[in-house]
């Protein structure tokens, strides 16, 4: 069970908001994390705590297919992103990098700064105003998260074949 403070963002949060294009020359997760969500919340990276949770509306992660976006979110310590829907390429990139995503419409059920609990295995979200059932994460995607992403998963599979 994950527990963290809520950070709320709206609909159509694109990858240029998650990590502005001017920082794409960097590959160090710490540098990317320092600029996460900078256009909407300039102090986000300085005030977010490890384990905090992003809650958003529809189409989170739209825009370009950069892997930098989930890397930046992970680098600041976000444990899970909950949104009404995700852009498909972002969805896959996130799980490839071991960032947990849950699909649920909870923007109206939570306030910024509130603490919520999330069970990734069942998709159950406990808010101060009750429980919400998210669309469960497929078992393979949970496996990717547990192994630290797609590259680690593939390395493990190669080791098992030796």
Domain containing residue 46: CATH number? 3.20.19.10
94: left (phi over 0), alpha (psi -120 to 50) or beta: alpha
Position 159 scores a pLDDT of: 87
CA distance 116 to 135: 17
> pTM of the full predicted structure?
0.95
Contacts of 15 (CB under 8 A, 6+ apart): 61, 62, 63, 64, 65, 66, 68, 69, 90
Position 121 scores a pLDDT of: 94
Q: What total number of domains does the chain contain?
A: 1
CB-CB contact of 91 with 61 (8 Å): yes
- The residue count for the chain: 162
- Coil/strand/helix, residue 29: helix
Position 41 scores a pLDDT of: 96
Each residue's pLDDT tens digit, 126-151: 999 999 999 999 999 999 999 999 99
For the chain, list residues with pLDDT below 70: none
Position 162 scores a pLDDT of: 78
Range of the domain at 143: 2-161
């Amino acid at each position: 069970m994950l527990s963290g403070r809520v950070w709320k963002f709206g609909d159509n949060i694109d990858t240029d908001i998650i990590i502005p294009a001017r920082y794409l020359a960097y590959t160090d997760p710490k540098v990317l994390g320092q600029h996460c969500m900078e256009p909407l919340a300039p102090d986000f990276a300085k005030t977010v705590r490890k384990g905090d949770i992003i809650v958003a509306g529809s189409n989170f992660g739209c825009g370009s297919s950069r892997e930098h976006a989930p890397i930046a979110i992970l680098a600041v310590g976000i444990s899970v992103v909950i949104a009404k829907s995700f852009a498909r390429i972002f969805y896959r990139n996130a799980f490839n990098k071991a960032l947990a995503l849950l699909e649920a419409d909870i923007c109206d059920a939570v306030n910024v700064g509130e603490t919520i609990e999330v069970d990734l295995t069942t998709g159950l979200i406990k808010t101060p105003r009750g429980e919400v059932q998210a669309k469960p994460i497929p078992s393979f995607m949970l496996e990717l998260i547990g192994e630290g992403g797609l590259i680690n998963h593939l390395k493990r599979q190669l080791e098992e074949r030796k």
